[in-house]
Chain A
Amino acid sequence: MDDILPPTYTDYSTGEPLVDTKAPGGPVAERWDTRRFEAKLVNPANRRKHTVIVVGTGLAGGAAGATLAEQGYHVVQFCYQDSPRRAHSIAAQGGINAAKNYRNDGDSIHRLFYDTVKGGDFRARESNVHRLAQISVEIIDQCVAQGVPFAREYGGLLDTRSFGGVQVSRTFYARGQTGQQLLLGAYQALSRQIAAGTVEMHPRTEMLDLIVVDGRARGIVARDLISGKVSTYFADAVVLASGGYGNVFYLSTNAKNSNATAVWRAHRRGAHFANPCFTQIHPTCIPRSGDHQSKLTLMSESLRNDGRIWVPKAHGDTRPPAEIPEDERDYYLERIYPSFGNLVPRDIASRAAKNVCDEGRGVGPGGQGVYLDFADAIRRLGRKAVEEKYGNLFEMYERITAEDPYQVPMRIYPAIHYTMGGLWVDYDLQTTVPGLFAIGEANFSDHGANRLGASALMQGLADGYFVLPSTINDYLARNPHQDTVDDSHPAVAEAVAETEDRLRLLLAVDGDRTPDSFHREIGELLWEHCGMARSEVGLRKALDRIPQIREEFWSRIKVPGTGEEFNQSLEKANRIVDYLELAELMCLDALHRAESCGGHFREESQTEGGEAERHDEAFSYAAAWEFTATGTAPVLHKEDLVFEYVHPTQRSYA
């Protein structure tokens, strides 16, 4: 399939290439030490004179807020939830990777680095990924010291398991609630600082704009969700730890209120947005059951350690699973990818599920599902052992579907789960707006075009506990005496006025459609054309349709109530405004990248076996988009990716 269409879409211009000026050279294993040594430090006595705003309290934000406060900075932190403990990191189930090699199974920092670069389909930066692998071992030490109750062996040492895309056992876990336990560790560390008065915490407060003064990030505009009051907060640096943008699809495994407003508002103020089309579709989610569905629920990837995925060999076989004999089942992952079997990476497992369903061999209502079967594992290990490992996941499945997975195989189907794209950041995690940093899922940096399982927790905590608290010093040390900013500054007044105008306008339309109806519409459009498979025809259709939906939104949206009260409809509608712009950039990015890589699968670019086909000669770069105006062509800045250690090859898991 070499006759791939050249990128013909012209509705963007190409600007100056981006260069990561903070990444040091030299051997990859020494770069992080080099950078930390070269970075300027802030004298401990001077740190309390600096205020840092942190938006979000998930693994990245919670860890960063606590650590910066421990170092002596004055931290002002925000979350839209009623408590910092509820950030969506809490829902991560399976585990966290670390190259501890406690199993003596050949693991090493270099192997974790290699697996992550390869797993990301060679679209991530080597320097960043290596640093992540190095820090992974410190994260486990840190979390154990905080009292995170990881699973342990009878000898009292930590237990591990395997995740997709790797052949070692390096995933540390706390039953199916690893995210919860890690988040509570960070939340407790943060709570200690809040009680000590070093962190000023603003729960139920949502960031609605970034304040940029003289080219530097100096604060945010935020709305108190209880009183509705819009206020300004100022600082010497702003850190966005506001998570990913998967909720643009409406149906995703994200929390209902997870949103893209903080990053999108920052993008509008000058922060480039990188690789927005790199979204992750998780292969093992509970299939949707009807139009009422408000979100999708993930079943942890760890289940693929013991569960076997299959569909009937025959098309349209509607017999109950127990009546389908062994030789009439197709364990398609084990068949196509014998060396990784059920543990292939997520992008590959998702696409394979889509393929068998498209062939008409899917199971359950509408044929949109495949089986994840534990019968063999229960026979081999006994029900008790399976319960011990996955008990809470099995319960959750039964509660939602009213089917007992100990008796009948689970039915699963892929769903949007994570976004690899995000704000472009340099090696210091600083965006293109000086003084604005992005950490965790909010940035684009470490996972390339596909994230490996159990690596999101690793990256969030690496950024929050270790990377940002080191690199932000350099920025603050180089900008020690910034002018005081207050509400009278024209840039501040403008940001506040824009926010208030937008809220007023949303309330004033008084149309005939609810916020959710628009959110569903944009979500379905994206899932169809910018979901598991993308094509030039489909993407162009979506790009034609999105501006129409935007126009309709502003003439038909109905938001009840006022802005001066607790108003959840207003919160929703305000987030949808940003989704309607972000969706367009995602489609444009997907259209311009006329290759397949990782989670981005362009139908025009596949091998004869139907695998993603990259085009390194044309697309070995991160695409960072510069905002111009709503509905106006953005500017593309390319950051070339250089691979000195892991040489790009066709990914093979066969």
Chain B
Amino acid sequence: MRLTLRVWRQSAADATGAMVTYDIDGISEDMSFLEMLDSLNEQLILEGDDPVAFDHDCREGICGACGVVINGDAHGPERTTTCQLHMRHFSDGDTIDVEPWRAGAFPVVKDLVVDRSAFDRIIGAGGYISAPTGSAPEAHATPVPKADADFAFEHAECIGCGACVAACPNGSAMLFTSAKVNHLNVLPQGAPERETRVLDMVATMDEEGFGGCTLTGECATACPKGIPLPSITAMNKEWLRATRKVAR
């Protein structure tokens, strides 16, 4: 397959970027999108050019490191991570635009690499259960109803890739934040910190410069792990409940 790529090139955080066009040939439909970029980079290195920087690691769709905007869609046309998107979803002769996540809270580091450390700070604000090592009771001491365990798991699947923020017209991190709040707040182990967790995580999210939520729903459409949109309404409910409880 022969393709024309238009790739965002930006040499450093404070540099001006631009879309640069490359032609690439010999792409197999069994390649992943990242393997296609690997092959572009091999070509660029041999031509004495600077290869395109992009984040990636596990290439199995679970570490959350990769993620680029492909033809305007976060992670491209399929509902998956960029590393699990295969070239069979494209056709010979296609022109493909490749850009980094675009969001105020995710500044560009270089080319397609962005800084997502704001996510780590949201987790640090309350996305945990305080259970110092050694203090745990026997695991079966507290049964968890299967429905609650499944609900927790569904939200715990978030890989922190940031596609939700990139897809959102407001650059909001509500889906990311709500996934963690819902995972932990539904569990009996998470109950003691239920209120502070949601209040502190939402406050940090706002401080980090993410936009507000207008329930557009682009986030849930882009999420490679299928975190559902009602996750956000469930968090809003938790937040309202916590505000009232703390005010009392």
- For residue A77, CB closer than 8 A to chain B, the reply is no
The answer, among B86, B88, B128, for a CB contact under 8 Å with A146, is: B128
- For residue A151, CB closer than 8 A to chain B, the reply is yes
Complex CA distance for A255 and B66, rounded to whole angstroms: 12
- For residue A100, CB closer than 8 A to chain B, the reply is yes
Interface centre among B48, B125, B149 (most CB of A within 10 A): B149
The answer, among A91, A147, A152, A512, for a CB contact under 8 Å with B58, is: A91
Residues of B within 8 A of A568 (CB): 51, 53
Residues of A within 8 A of B236 (CB): none
Complex CA distance for A294 and B110, rounded to whole angstroms: 22
A:131-165 near B, CB below 8 Å: 138, 140-142, 144-147, 149-158
Residues of B within 8 A of A157 (CB): 140, 143
Complex CA distance for A174 and B113, rounded to whole angstroms: 31
Q: Shortest distance in angstroms between B173's beta carbon and chain A's nearest beta carbon?
A: 14
Residues of A within 8 A of B44 (CB): 560
Q: Provide the B49-71 mask, 1 if CB < 8 A to any CB of A, else 0.
A: 11101011111111111000000
Complex CA distance for A338 and B146, rounded to whole angstroms: 35
The answer, among A66, A141, A151, A257, for a CB contact under 8 Å with B139, is: A141
Complex CA distance for A195 and B203, rounded to whole angstroms: 14
- For residue B129, CB closer than 8 A to chain A, the reply is yes
- For residue A180, CB closer than 8 A to chain B, the reply is yes
Q: Shortest distance in angstroms between B43's beta carbon and chain A's nearest beta carbon?
A: 10
- For residue A305, CB closer than 8 A to chain B, the reply is no
Complex CA distance for A150 and B11, rounded to whole angstroms: 43
- For residue A592, CB closer than 8 A to chain B, the reply is no
Complex CA distance for A25 and B149, rounded to whole angstroms: 43
Q: Shortest distance in angstroms between A123's beta carbon and chain B's nearest beta carbon?
A: 29
Chain A residue with the shortest CB-CB distance to B81: A399
Q: Shortest distance in angstroms between B156's beta carbon and chain A's nearest beta carbon?
A: 5
- For residue B80, CB closer than 8 A to chain A, the reply is yes
Known A86-B63, A152-B144, A177-B157; judge A140-B139 contact (CB<8 A): yes
Residues of B within 8 A of A319 (CB): none
Q: Which of A185-193, A309-317, A501-509, A594-602 contacts B (4 or more CB under 8 A)?
A: A185-193
B:145-203 near A, CB below 8 Å: 145-146, 149, 152-153, 156-157, 159-160, 183-184, 187, 189-190
A203 touches B117 (CB 8 A): yes
- For residue B206, CB closer than 8 A to chain A, the reply is no
Q: Provide the B64-89 mask, 1 if CB < 8 A to any CB of A, else 0.
A: 11000000000000101000101010
- For residue A384, CB closer than 8 A to chain B, the reply is no
B:186-243 near A, CB below 8 Å: 187, 189-190
Q: Shortest distance in angstroms between B163's beta carbon and chain A's nearest beta carbon?
A: 15
A191 touches B35 (CB 8 A): no
A:87-118 near B, CB below 8 Å: 88, 90-91, 100, 102
Q: Which of A263-271, A285-293, A420-428, A529-537 contacts B (4 or more CB under 8 A)?
A: A285-293
B64 touches A86 (CB 8 A): yes
Residues of B within 8 A of A565 (CB): 11-12, 110
B12 touches A149 (CB 8 A): no
The answer, among B49, B59, B133, B149, for a CB contact under 8 Å with A149, is: B149
Complex CA distance for A256 and B88, rounded to whole angstroms: 22
Complex CA distance for A86 and B149, rounded to whole angstroms: 24
Residues of A within 8 A of B64 (CB): 85-86
- For residue A17, CB closer than 8 A to chain B, the reply is no
A189 touches B34 (CB 8 A): no
Q: Shortest distance in angstroms between B171's beta carbon and chain A's nearest beta carbon?
A: 18
B35 touches A514 (CB 8 A): no
Residues of A within 8 A of B149 (CB): 149-152, 156
Complex CA distance for A255 and B57, rounded to whole angstroms: 5
Residues of A within 8 A of B146 (CB): 152-154, 156
B58 touches A146 (CB 8 A): no
- For residue B123, CB closer than 8 A to chain A, the reply is yes
Complex CA distance for A181 and B132, rounded to whole angstroms: 17
Q: Provide the B15-56 mask, 1 if CB < 8 A to any CB of A, else 0.
A: 000000000000010111011001100101110111101011
Complex CA distance for A66 and B50, rounded to whole angstroms: 39
B45 touches A560 (CB 8 A): yes
- For residue A295, CB closer than 8 A to chain B, the reply is yes
Known A90-B63, A294-B34; judge A191-B143 contact (CB<8 A): no
Chain B residue with the shortest CB-CB distance to A155: B143
Chain A residue with the shortest CB-CB distance to B52: A568
The answer, among B60, B123, B128, B156, for a CB contact under 8 Å with A181, is: B156
A569 touches B45 (CB 8 A): yes
Complex CA distance for A191 and B60, rounded to whole angstroms: 24
Known A70-B132, A82-B115; judge A294-B35 contact (CB<8 A): yes
Residues of A within 8 A of B12 (CB): 565-566
Q: Shortest distance in angstroms between A351's beta carbon and chain B's nearest beta carbon?
A: 25
Total residues of chain B contacting the partner, CB 8 A: 78
B:130-146 near A, CB below 8 Å: 130-140, 142-146
B136 touches A145 (CB 8 A): yes
B:98-120 near A, CB below 8 Å: 109-110, 113, 115-117, 119-120
A142 touches B136 (CB 8 A): yes
Residues of A within 8 A of B46 (CB): 512, 514, 558
Residues of A within 8 A of B42 (CB): 514, 516-517
Residues of B within 8 A of A90 (CB): 58, 62-63
B144 touches A187 (CB 8 A): no
A149 touches B55 (CB 8 A): no
- For residue B93, CB closer than 8 A to chain A, the reply is no
A293 touches B35 (CB 8 A): yes
Q: Shortest distance in angstroms between A68's beta carbon and chain B's nearest beta carbon?
A: 9
Known A91-B62, A146-B189, A184-B156; judge A292-B35 contact (CB<8 A): yes
Known A396-B61, A560-B48; judge A566-B127 contact (CB<8 A): no
Complex CA distance for A221 and B225, rounded to whole angstroms: 37
Residues of B within 8 A of A66 (CB): 133
Complex CA distance for A531 and B159, rounded to whole angstroms: 33
Residues of A within 8 A of B139 (CB): 100, 140-141, 144, 158
- For residue A42, CB closer than 8 A to chain B, the reply is no
A294 touches B116 (CB 8 A): no
Known A141-B137, A151-B149, A566-B12; judge A290-B28 contact (CB<8 A): yes
Residues of B within 8 A of A141 (CB): 136-139
- For residue A45, CB closer than 8 A to chain B, the reply is no
The answer, among B88, B135, B136, B183, for a CB contact under 8 Å with A144, is: B136
Residues of A within 8 A of B34 (CB): 294
B60 touches A146 (CB 8 A): no
Known A400-B86, A514-B46, A565-B12; judge A187-B143 contact (CB<8 A): no
Interface centre among A175, A177, A180 (most CB of B within 10 A): A180
Complex CA distance for A138 and B64, rounded to whole angstroms: 29
Known A149-B183, A180-B62, A289-B30; judge A188-B127 contact (CB<8 A): yes
Interface centre among A81, A145, A295, A465 (most CB of B within 10 A): A145
Residues of A within 8 A of B110 (CB): 226, 565-566
Known A91-B60, A257-B57; judge A569-B38 contact (CB<8 A): no
A82 touches B116 (CB 8 A): yes
Q: Provide the A399-416 mask, 1 if CB < 8 A to any CB of B, else 0.
A: 110100000000000000
Please, could you name 22 A-B residue pairs with CB atoms under 8 Å apart, sorted by A?
Answer: A81-B63, A82-B55, A82-B115, A85-B123, A86-B64, A91-B58, A91-B63, A140-B139, A141-B136, A146-B129, A157-B140, A157-B143, A184-B156, A188-B128, A192-B128, A292-B28, A298-B60, A396-B61, A560-B45, A565-B11, A566-B110, A568-B53
Instruction: List chain B positions with a Cβ less than 8 A from chain A.
Output: 11-12, 28, 30-32, 34-35, 38-39, 42, 44-46, 48-51, 53, 55-65, 78, 80, 84, 86, 88, 109-110, 113, 115-117, 119-121, 123-125, 127-140, 142-146, 149, 152-153, 156-157, 159-160, 183-184, 187, 189-190
- For the complex with contacts A82-B115, A88-B63, A566-B110, 10 further pairs of A-B residues with Cβ separation under 8 Å are A85-B64, A144-B189, A145-B129, A149-B187, A174-B156, A180-B157, A191-B127, A255-B57, A255-B59, A561-B50
User: Top 8 A-B pairs ranked by shortest CB distance?
Assistant: A156-B143, A195-B124, A188-B128, A145-B136, A145-B131, A141-B136, A149-B153, A149-B152
